[in-house]
């Protein structure tokens, strides 16, 4: 792949020439020049404009699909050669939201270590906002977050879908309810994650989309981790909204019961967060690994 291919892929992923220029640390006219050269070379139009928005043409979508595959093959080649030359050595500082660090990362880190034993991993956890601050302060190399807001100084790549579900303890008075409404959340006592957590941010955004202010909910406590919430539910006659990935064991043991909320599906993406700038080998290696991991 040459540099024009990299420029094209960056524009295709952002669908914005200005953002692509920022990500590549070049000027917007330079981005436009590279795209036009690529279009002339292949005798096709790769993008089309509709108003202020940019879209891939049919040829652009085809080109992106093949270049993405080619780029992955190059990386696979680089990894294999790197292992032969013992090039993958060093330390990777990872920051992760508490949900991701507790319920997603352990198996990933173990598998990564088996494949790249010469890379030492250091893991920090907290809420998504804290991890983004550490990333921008150069205290970590890569962050794994669950929030939905985007910092302009950070580049995000989704790697796993997650669902937030309403839950209560198995003996709760609400455990027998088959269906809740959004209005029920304003009456039933709730325990939720703390401010700054990606989970709370997602809940707030989706409620807002339904015309509900999160301050209207009957929230009696905010706790700093999902584990704290699960323990609290043992003696709490109320509900919480937490990641379904965090309660797999409790659901099997019927310690926690999942409840449905009518017309309210809470989905989000777990995302990899990078500082904007040149791609660094080891963080990119880990990002590719977790993106292809079979969860």
CATH number of the domain encompassing residue 37? 1.10.10.10
Q: Which phi-psi region, left, alpha or beta, contains residue 25 (left: φ > 0; alpha: ψ -120 to 50)?
A: left
Based on the domain organization, do 251 and 109 belong to the same domain? no
207-238 in b/e form (b: 16+ CB < 10 A) is beeeebebeebebeeebebbeebbeebeebeb
User: Dihedral (C-alpha) 22, 25, 27, 31: value to the nearest 10 degrees?
Assistant: -80
Based on the domain organization, do 26 and 114 belong to the same domain? no
pLDDT at 279 over 90: no
Q: Which residues pair with 166 in a beta bridge?
A: 241, 259
Of 74-78, 198-202, 290-294, the least confident: 74-78
Cα(270)–Cα(27) distance, integer angstroms: 31
Looking at 62, 83, 104, the residue that finishes a domain is 83
Q: How confident is the model at residue 71 (pLDDT cuts 50, 70, 90)?
A: confident
Number of domains in the chain: 3
Based on the domain organization, do 175 and 252 belong to the same domain? yes
pLDDT at 6 over 80: yes
- Domain containing 95 equals 87-160+269-291
CA dihedral (104, 125, 216, 189) positive or negative: positive
Based on the domain organization, do 50 and 194 belong to the same domain? no
Looking at 26, 48, 83, the residue that finishes a domain is 83
Based on the domain organization, do 216 and 172 belong to the same domain? yes
- Three-class SS of residue 175? coil
Cα(248)–Cα(245) distance, integer angstroms: 6
Based on the domain organization, do 145 and 28 belong to the same domain? no
Q: Which residues pair with 194 in a beta bridge?
A: none
**108, 144, 151, 188, 270 from 105: Cα distances, Å:** 5, 9, 23, 33, 11
Of 69-83, 84-98, 273-287, the least confident: 69-83
Based on the domain organization, do 152 and 25 belong to the same domain? no
Long-range contacts of 23-29 (CB under 8 A, 24+ apart): 23/155, 23/276, 25/277, 25/278
Whole-number mean pLDDT of the chain?
90
Q: How confident is the model at residue 83 (pLDDT cuts 50, 70, 90)?
A: low
Q: How many helices (H) and strands (E) does the chain have?
A: 11, 12
CB 212 within 8 A of CB 261: no
- For residue 116, the model assigns a pLDDT of 87
CA dihedral (128, 134, 139, 143) positive or negative: positive
For residues 266-274, average pLDDT: 93
Q: Which phi-psi region, left, alpha or beta, contains residue 257 (left: φ > 0; alpha: ψ -120 to 50)?
A: beta
For residues 106-112, average pLDDT: 95
CB 165 within 8 A of CB 256: no
pLDDT at 239 over 70: yes
CB 241 within 8 A of CB 199: yes
Looking at 83, 109, 131, the residue that finishes a domain is 83
Tens digit of each residue's pLDDT (9 = 90 or more) over 11-55: 998 999 998 888 888 999 999 999 999 999 999 999 998 888 899
CA dihedral (256, 257, 260, 261) positive or negative: negative
| CATH assignment of the domain containing 135 | 3.40.190.10
Based on the domain organization, do 231 and 262 belong to the same domain? yes
Based on the domain organization, do 169 and 200 belong to the same domain? yes
Based on the domain organization, do 227 and 167 belong to the same domain? yes
Based on the domain organization, do 67 and 207 belong to the same domain? no
Based on the domain organization, do 175 and 242 belong to the same domain? yes
Of 73-82, 112-121, 166-175, the least confident: 73-82
Q: How confident is the model at residue 85 (pLDDT cuts 50, 70, 90)?
A: low
Q: What is the percentage of the chain residues whose pLDDT exceeds 90?
A: 60
- For residue 87, the model assigns a pLDDT of 65
Name the strand (E) or helix (H) holding 54.
strand 53-56
Pairwise pLDDT comparison (265 vs 145), residue with the higher score: 145
Pairwise pLDDT comparison (87 vs 184), residue with the higher score: 184
pLDDT at 201 over 70: yes
């Amino acid at each position: 792949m040459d540099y024009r291919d990299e420029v094209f892929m960056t524009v295709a992923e952002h669908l914005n020439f200005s953002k692509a220029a920022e990500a590549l640390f070049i000027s917007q006219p330079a981005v436009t020049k590279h795209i036009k050269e690529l279009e002339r070379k292949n005798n096709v139009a790769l993008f089309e404009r509709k108003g202020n928005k940019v879209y891939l043409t049919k040829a652009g979508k085809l080109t992106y699909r093949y270049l993405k595959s080619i780029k992955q093959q190059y990386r696979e080649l680089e990894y294999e050669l790197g292992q032969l030359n013992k090039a993958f050595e060093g330390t990777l500082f990872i920051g992760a939201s508490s949900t991701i660090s507790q319920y997603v990362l352990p198996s990933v880190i173990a598998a990564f270590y088996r494949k790249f034993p010469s890379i030492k991993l250091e893991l920090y956890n907290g809420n998504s906002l804290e991890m983004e601050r550490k990333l921008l302060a150069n205290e970590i190399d890569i962050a794994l977050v669950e929030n939905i807001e985007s910092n302009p100084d950070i580049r995000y790549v989704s790697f796993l879908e997650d669902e937030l579900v309403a839950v209560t303890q198995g003996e709760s008075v609400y455990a027998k309810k088959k269906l809740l409404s959004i209005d029920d959340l304003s009456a039933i006592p709730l325990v939720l994650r703390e401010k700054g957590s990606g989970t709370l941010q997602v809940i707030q955004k989706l409620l807002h989309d339904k015309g509900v202010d999160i301050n209207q909910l009957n929230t009696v406590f905010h706790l700093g981790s999902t584990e704290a919430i699960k323990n609290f539910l043992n003696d709490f006659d109320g509900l919480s909204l937490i990641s379904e990935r965090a309660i797999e064991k409790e659901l099997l043991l019927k310690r926690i019961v999942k409840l449905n909320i009518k017309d309210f599906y809470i989905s989000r993406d777990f995302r990899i967060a990078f500082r904007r700038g040149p791609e660094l080998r080891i963080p990119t290696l880990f990002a590719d690994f977790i993106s292809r991991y079979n969860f």
